[in-house]
Amino acid sequence: MEADALAVPGAGNSGPPAGAPLGNGPVGDLGLAGDHAAIWSYDFEHETLSWLPGLENLLGGSVLTEAEIESRLADLVAPLTSGTRTSPPWREFELEQSFRNPVGEVRWVRLRARTIGDDNGSTGLLGIATDVTDIRENRQALEDLTDRYRLLVELSPDAVCVHEAGVVTYVNRAAVTALGASSTAELIGRPIMDFVADESLPALLDRIASLHRQGASTDPADTVMLRLDGTKYLVQSISVRTTWEGRPAFQVIMRDISAQKAAEATLRYQAALISHVSDAIIATSGTGVVTSWNPAAENVYGWTAGEAIGGTVSELVGAELDPETVLRRGGVMRTTHRHRNGSTLAIRISAAEMNDGFVLVCADETARRRAEQHYSTVVASLDEGVVVIGPGGLIESANPAACRIIGVGHDDLIGVPCVTLELYDEQGRIPPARMPSVITRRTGATLTGLVLRLRRPAGDDVWISLTSRLLTPEDPSAQAVVASFTDITERRAIGERLAHEATHDPLTELANRTLVLDSLAEALSGAGRAELTTLLFIDLDKFKVINDSLGHSVGDKVLRIAGERLRRGIGENDLVGRLGGDEFVVVTAEITEPHEIKALAEHLREALTEPITVNGRQLHIDASIGIVTAANDDTRTAEDLLRDADVAMYQAKTLGRARYEFFDVELRERMQRRLRMEQDLRDALQNEELWTAYQPVVDIESGEMVAVEALLRWKHPAHGTISPAEFIPLAEESDLINLIGKYVLRTTTREIARRREQLGIDLNLKVNLSARQLDDPHLVAGVQDALKTTGLPPHALTLEVTESALMRDQAAAAEVLTSLRDLGVSLAIDDFGTGYSSLAQLQRLPLDTLKIDRTFVTGIAESRDAAAIVKSIIAMAHAVDLIVVAEGVEDEQQLMILSELRCDQAQGFHLGRPAPPDELFGAVG
């Protein structure tokens, strides 16, 4: 009837065996199975795990066995499976776990799960496992490199300061120490010229004036600086054009070269080698032959002093090195050298001239430049977008992922105010200050995991998870912010789809039972509760016939059409849902008058009764509707209203279907009594409250008792004798009729077999079969077992079936009756004349006896028509060799007429009332 559902706990099917992969199903089209994600489930009751294909790739590849996959998955989800059993259905949980794959690598997996279940609570978990190893590693690498970049500046041995409009706005620790200050507060806000000696001021101003564009830098130059105490010291400075809070500024890097200059002077005049510095110091002749090679040079280039002295400097450093060229370029230059092993070195060269040659100071900057390159490479390769927002709110840098997610090119993004990005929260509101980076810049607070909707310039939207933090947390005054964000559009869509599937019927897309109850509960609560809430419980009539005869695919189409007609037939604010099978509900708070409710019920019935065309076949259905209303002071819950509407619907079906009935308290009490009576009937079998009475069947011609009919009786411990007219229908509507039927057959065959043997009589036993028993696949085996166990001859047993049961499905009935007839038992049609059968139809069934219903016998003495009908029935039955038994004989006159009409046998109060076996036969020792 419905499409097959994925076998998960609480979904209405048993699921796969423990440890087995989940099969393909609706969940399979999530598109998550693969190397990075997989779907899994856990059954609380059976404590079994199941998963979709793809989990083996996530946990280690095809080398894993199914048992190993199950063991690894069990370890990962253990915190969820042990801690969520008492959670109500549809709660979500998330955690990240690490594990080692078969090759020893540490991997990380994010587990997101939701409890699923039914009205009795959660029955299991349905979850998604996602490989987040790369995300964690990239995020950590970004944070590490960001810290290293910040520390590189802050902990640099070179003094670094920033001045804007001639005023100092930032200094690092080395600058504080170099200028003789005790804190940054003594330097920030002072003119930069306060710290430059007069002799170096003109050249410094000229170099700054030459910087016309962002990022431009001066060549290294010597500058005399002034400490706070007025003393002078020499630095090598480089000025870089930058911005500070959106305004032009200059960053100055100053290296104290006093010691270096002193060393160079010593080299000039003494040709001595300073061996304790970390930079390589090389002395050469005027022709480039190495005359001195300090230990640092050995470490930097890999050549020992013995190997280097006497060699050509260009060959030793792996590149052309002309000291005069360095001197012409200001005495300092950056270039690339090579280590003895061929690796590349980033070198800053300082050159000084001696009387007979040159002194070269080669500083190895390879590590610093590699760190900067690694930082740029890692940030550029991240799937996570990263932007740096300056103090003025302008975007200063952005990696490729950020450009891709935002939907603009790199050049179009740099320099743009971050507040121009269109961001909205989950309620569609513009967040405060539009950009979380503004809040971070103003407060210094780190904002993590903000879920926002970003409107791209092209007009489409993406959902992002954003984190905003200061670029230099230890110096909030810098106010630069790093914003990182991930595109979660697909993940969010999957979550929304799962939420929709959890609250909607997959066949009709209508609200399911969970959503109906939630919506109804919401309508029944709160100050804004409606004056009257109405619930209509709709059950389709004739649907089972369509579904069983034409197949589930046709049944599913009928259900979809019915659901769509109901949806079109209600108001905009009303709710229509499908509870399962052919049961629908409508919830409305828009109508308050009884006649309006009746009109709605009739309108929905009329919509459903319109012909339905499926596969070229025109079908017809109708509906039985139960209606319950709840005023705004009604204390019933949503479950209570659904139950009461179901009761009213059942009453509508009982009264003839294709109608509607309103619920009332008396109706509920009758149903509750019915439910209690059904439970008591279940207990009656075990408590031996059921017993069998036997009514004689007499041969009319001889007057002798030739058979007895077994009639079930119930003596209730509290209510006394319960009429069969009340409890037999209860049994037939449940599974009890088969249990009771087996009990009656077993006890009566045993009783009559014992009486036949001890009394020496040839007595036939007649036992009634219900329509439900004919559907029991174990009926024939049960009859055979009863005969074999009790020793009753098969020909001594007659099984009676009502005419209506035989006419319900003649082909199926004929097959079962033939199997019973093959056992040797006799078969009778009971209550003949109350149905719509004809003798021609009966002739196709393997019958031996026909029983005329008591309604014809009752009026046989007063009505010529009744007598004529009975006469015709007897004649037709005899014509096909059927024995005729008349039921309900109440007096001698009726018996005489039946004798005249050549009726074979009779039973009724005139011939003997139903009685216990000892009373009918007498006690037998």
Q: pLDDT tens digit string along 229-253?
A: 999 999 999 999 988 877 889 999 9
**Cβ proximity of 220 and 209 under 8 Å:** no
Pick 134 or 478 by higher pLDDT: 134
Note the pLDDT of residue 274: 57
- How many angstroms separate the CA atoms of 768 and 412, rounded? 89
- What is the percent of the chain where pLDDT is above 70? 91
- What is the percent of the chain where pLDDT is above 90? 34
Q: Euclidean distance between the first and final Cα of the chain, in Å?
A: 59
- How many angstroms separate the CA atoms of 577 and 508, rounded? 9
Note the pLDDT of residue 14: 34
Q: Give the residue-averaged pLDDT of 815-834.
A: 87
Window from 417-421, 437-441, 831-835 with minimum mean pLDDT:
831-835
180 three-class SS:
coil
- The residue with tokens 């409508």 is 586
- How many angstroms separate the CA atoms of 161 and 166, rounded? 12
Q: What is the DSSP string of 675-712?
A: HHHHHHHHHHHHHT-EEEEEEEEEETTT--EEEEEEEE
B/e letters for 403-439, b = 16+ CB within 10 Å, e = fewer, are bebbbbeeeebbebebeebebbeeeeeeeeebbbbbb
Note the pLDDT of residue 265: 64
pLDDT at 420 > cutoff 60: yes
Which residues have CB under 8 Å from 422's CB, separation 6+?
A: 454, 455
Note the pLDDT of residue 12: 33
Note the pLDDT of residue 149: 62
**Cβ proximity of 395 and 388 under 8 Å:** yes
pLDDT at 63 > cutoff 70: yes
Note the pLDDT of residue 433: 53
Amino acid at 421: L
Dump pLDDT digits (tens) for 569-625.
Answer: 998 889 999 998 899 999 998 888 989 999 999 999 999 999 998 888 888 899 999
Note the pLDDT of residue 15: 38
Note the pLDDT of residue 11: 32
Pick 842 or 871 by higher pLDDT: 871
- How many angstroms separate the CA atoms of 66 and 48, rounded? 13
Note the pLDDT of residue 513: 92
Pick 143 or 256 by higher pLDDT: 256
Dump pLDDT digits (tens) for 503-559.
Answer: 888 999 999 999 999 989 888 887 678 888 999 999 998 888 888 878 888 889 999
How many CB atoms are located within 10 Å of the residue 71 CB? 15
pLDDT at 10 > cutoff 50: no
- How many angstroms separate the CA atoms of 466 and 387, rounded? 11
- How many angstroms separate the CA atoms of 12 and 332, rounded? 79
Tokens of 420: 């121009």
> For residue 26, what pLDDT band results from cuts at 50, 70 and 90?
very low
pLDDT at 475 > cutoff 80: no
Please give the mean pLDDT across all residues of the chain: 84
Q: What is the DSSP string of 732-784?
A: HTSTHHHHHHHHHHHHHHHHHHHHHHHHT---EEEEEE-HHHHT-TTHHHHHH
Q: What angle do CA 262, 263, 266 make, to 5 degrees?
A: 90
**Cβ proximity of 251 and 166 under 8 Å:** no
Note the pLDDT of residue 110: 92
Q: What is the DSSP string of 87-141?
A: SPTT-EEEEEEEEE-TTS-EEEEEEEEEEEEETTEEEEEEEEEEE-HHHHHHHHH
Dump pLDDT digits (tens) for 783-795.
Answer: 999 999 999 999 9
Tokens of 95: 């955690």
> For residue 632, what pLDDT band results from cuts at 50, 70 and 90?
confident
847 three-class SS:
coil
pTM for the model? 0.41
Tokens of 585: 């509900």
Note the pLDDT of residue 716: 85
Which residues have CB under 8 Å from 871's CB, separation 6+?
A: 901
- How many angstroms separate the CA atoms of 335 and 261, rounded? 21
> For residue 270, what pLDDT band results from cuts at 50, 70 and 90?
low
> For residue 124, what pLDDT band results from cuts at 50, 70 and 90?
very high
pLDDT at 272 > cutoff 50: no
pLDDT at 34 > cutoff 60: no
Note the pLDDT of residue 560: 93
Window from 371-385, 498-512, 631-645 with minimum mean pLDDT:
371-385
B/e letters for 216-237, b = 16+ CB within 10 Å, e = fewer, are eebebbebebbeeeeeebbbbb
- How many angstroms separate the CA atoms of 47 and 41, rounded? 10
Q: Which residues share a beta bridge with 546?
A: none
- How many angstroms separate the CA atoms of 801 and 805, rounded? 7
> For residue 32, what pLDDT band results from cuts at 50, 70 and 90?
very low
Q: Give the residue-averaged pLDDT of 362-381.
A: 80
Note the pLDDT of residue 383: 80
Q: Give the residue-averaged pLDDT of 630-643.
A: 89
Window from 404-418, 468-482, 850-864 with minimum mean pLDDT:
468-482
Note the pLDDT of residue 21: 43
pLDDT at 819 > cutoff 90: yes
pLDDT at 381 > cutoff 80: no
pLDDT at 333 > cutoff 70: yes
